[in-house]
Amino acid sequence: MDFTGYIPTINTVRSVLDIALVFIIVYVVLRLLRGTRAVPTIVGLVLLAVLYWLAVAQDLATLEFVLRYAVVYIGFAIIVLFQSEIRQALIYFANHLRFPILRKQRGQFGGSVYDEIVLAVTTLASEKTGALIVIERNVGLRNFIDAGVQLDARVGYDILVTIFNPATPLHDGAVIIQNERLAAASVFLPLTKNPGISRELGTRHRAAIGITEGTDAISLVVSEETGLITYVSAGEIRRNIDTTQLRKLLLDAMEIPLIQKKREPAKTMNEAESEITIG
């Protein structure tokens, strides 16, 4: 049986698959770079490529020589300057292409743990008590946990409010939650080096942004000056959010279904009187 007739078809399918994979990779990379400081750099690299093409086409030997040997050093410079963006891109691919068996199991306690966190953050905000809570997702934070005061305690409203009380020795620094357990307190985090961050944001907010730039963790910040609640993920911040927004963002980030609590229907006057009579 002659299979030579199928070779063009196989080559066509392979070419289509090749183009589709390249398109997907380029699309995802552009989405990751959109709105970051890497965009002007990409534009500059494209202009250099056009300039190199013109140098080759017009036989400009000196310019071609300079650009050809500068490519190697430009590659190293990009890695150094945009290491945080590259790290975020790798984390993004790892999170979306990971095998189910490698995925961390969360939500064994439902949303109760995160309800405790939301309640504690709301209380701290009402009292204008500064706080920084970091929640680990898929990228481990063991290095930061080991550098802080290790606790390994159950996450609860009381312990979170107590830790961030200015009279306690653990209030300075961040709290890290790992596997729905309070892993460590008084943890000092790296500050963001993003020059585009507003000068209104203090050290606590910069630390919250810094830890989310290098990992896929999320950070919750309470400002001791204004009492505003800030949610930080992947280096992006959302300020002045309320309790409902915070709970939704938290459960979405931890991939826990949002369950709305059903209200009991109001009892009529006759039903209330009958219950009183029976009692």
CATH of the domain at 211: 3.40.1700.10
- Does 67 map to a domain? yes
pLDDT at 243 over 80: yes
Residues 162 and 58 in one domain: no
Residues 159 and 239 in one domain: yes
Residues 198 and 159 in one domain: yes
- Does 181 map to a domain? yes
For residue range 27-54, list pLDDT tens digits in order.
Answer: 766 665 555 555 666 677 778 788 888 8
Residues 211 and 78 in one domain: no
- Structure-token match 């290095």, residue found: 143
Residues 87 and 136 in one domain: no
* Structural domains counted in the chain: 2
For residue range 111-154, list pLDDT tens digits in order.
Answer: 688 899 999 999 999 999 999 999 998 888 888 898 899 998 99
For residue range 80-99, list pLDDT tens digits in order.
Answer: 666 666 666 666 566 555 55
- Does 102 map to a domain? no
* pTM score of the predicted model: 0.62
- Does 131 map to a domain? yes
Q: What's the pLDDT score for residue 86? A: 66
Among residues 216, 217, 236, 220, which one has the least CA distance to residue 228?
220
Domain extent, residue 83, equals 4-97
| Gap between the Cα atoms of 61 and 213, Å rounded | 42
**Residues whose CB is less than 8 angstroms from the CB of residue 16 and which lie 6 or more positions away in sequence, other chains included:** none
Number of Cβ atoms within 10 Å of the Cβ of 37 = 14
| Gap between the Cα atoms of 245 and 63, Å rounded | 55
| Gap between the Cα atoms of 268 and 279, Å rounded | 17
Residue 230 backbone phi and psi in degrees, to 5: -125, 135
| Gap between the Cα atoms of 24 and 231, Å rounded | 30
- Does 268 map to a domain? no
With left for phi above 0 and alpha for psi between -120 and 50, is residue 51 left, alpha or beta?
alpha
- Per-residue burial over 61-100, b if 16 or more Cβ lie within 10 Å, else e, is eeebeebeeeeeeeeeebeeebebbeebbebbeeeeeeee
Number of Cβ atoms within 10 Å of the Cβ of 131 = 23
